[in-house]
């Protein structure tokens, strides 16, 4: 049975991993008969957001790995302790945590810096030709990780022109796509879907992620 890493950026769409996207991803993998291990970087969150009012909480701090453990029901590993060789592929659900904790794209845009462990993990996955699935805003993280390298995958974040431009600036190719579908780069073995970047409801998001996992599974078998 194939085993893949599901990389989480915390818990909660405003400051961590998008919970709907994460759970749909895990469910789709399980239904496809693909084993997974949740992992997350053991780092502080950029900030903590009160999801009831949508505003940052002054003076509060949380840890990405500890928060992601909520989604993983405690079965999670520190990204720094795992190796690409342990997995057959990797998936990255979205949520603002991808743009705040994996990197600082949320505040720095095209001039953002990326967490070295996240960058190394993504680059090594692509170099090893292991399938990578990136969801919602996570394609920006992959594009930033591959900036200046020979890999220029086709990616989608939906239709947002600003974020699409960033993907192009980082050296990747953006393809417009609805939330219910996905974009497959068969050559580089990368799959992406917009999810809540454009999805109007959880049903649309689920349709897109389920299709992504189906295409991801084909790449695992190829």
Q: What is the pLDDT of residues 38-53, one digit of tens each?
A: 999 999 999 999 999 9
177 is catalytic: no
Classify residue 39: in a domain, yes or no: yes
Catalytic entry in 11, 38, 112, 136: 136
Sign of CA dihedral 86, 17, 190, 181: positive
Q: Give every CB contact of residue 27 below 8 A, 6+ residues apart in sequence.
A: none
Number of domains making up the chain: 1
12 occurs within a structural domain:
yes
SS3 157: coil
* Regions in the chain scoring below 70 on pLDDT: none
User: CA dist 143 to 32, 76, 98, 168, 210, Å?
Assistant: 27, 25, 12, 8, 22
| CA 40 from centre of chain | 11
Domain enclosing residue 56, as ranges: 3-136+200-221
For strands 173-174 and 76-78, give the pairing: unpaired
Distance CA 129, CA 203 (A): 31
Overall pTM surpassing 0.95 (yes/no) = yes
C-alpha dihedral sign at 142, 123, 190, 64: negative
Going 208 to 211 to 217 to 222, the CA torsion angle's sign is negative
Q: Is 82 strand, coil or helix?
A: coil
Q: What CATH number has the domain bearing residue 111?
A: 3.40.50.880
Residue 210 lies in a domain: yes
Of 212, 222, 209, 159, the closest CA to residue 18 belongs to 209
Assess if residue 7 is contained within a domain.
yes
**Domain-embedded: residue 171:** no
* Residue 45 within a domain: yes
Predicted pLDDT of residue 1: 85
Evaluate whether residue 209 is within a structural domain. Answer: yes
Query: Is residue 214 assigned to a domain?
Result: yes
């Amino acid at each position: 049975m194939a085993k893949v890493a599901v990389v989480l950026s915390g818990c909660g769409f405003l400051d961590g991993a998008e919970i709907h996207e994460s759970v749909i991803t895990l469910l789709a993998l399980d239904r496809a008969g693909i084993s997974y291990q949740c992992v997350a970087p053991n780092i502080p969150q950029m900030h903590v957001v009160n999801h009831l009012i949508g505003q940052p909480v002054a003076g509060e701090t949380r840890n990405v790995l500890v928060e992601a453990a909520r989604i993983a029901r405690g079965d999670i590993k520190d990204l720094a302790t795992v190796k690409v060789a342990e997995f057959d592929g990797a998936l990255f659900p979205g949520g603002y945590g991808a743009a705040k904790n994996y990197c600082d794209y949320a505040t720095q845009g095209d001039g953002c810096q990326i967490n070295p462990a996240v960058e190394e993990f993504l680059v090594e996955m692509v170099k090893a030709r292991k399938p990578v699935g990136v969801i919602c805003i996570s394609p920006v993280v992959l594009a930033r990780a591959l900036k200046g390298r020979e890999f220029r995958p086709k990616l989608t974040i939906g239709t947002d022109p600003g974020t699409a431009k960033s993907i192009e600036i980082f050296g990747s190719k953006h393809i417009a796509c609805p939330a219910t579908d996905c974009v497959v780069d068969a050559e580089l073995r990368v799959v992406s879907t917009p999810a809540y970047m454009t999805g109007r409801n959880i049903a649309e998001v689920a349709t897109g992620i389920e299709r992504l996992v189906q295409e991801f599974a084909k790449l695992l078998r190829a």
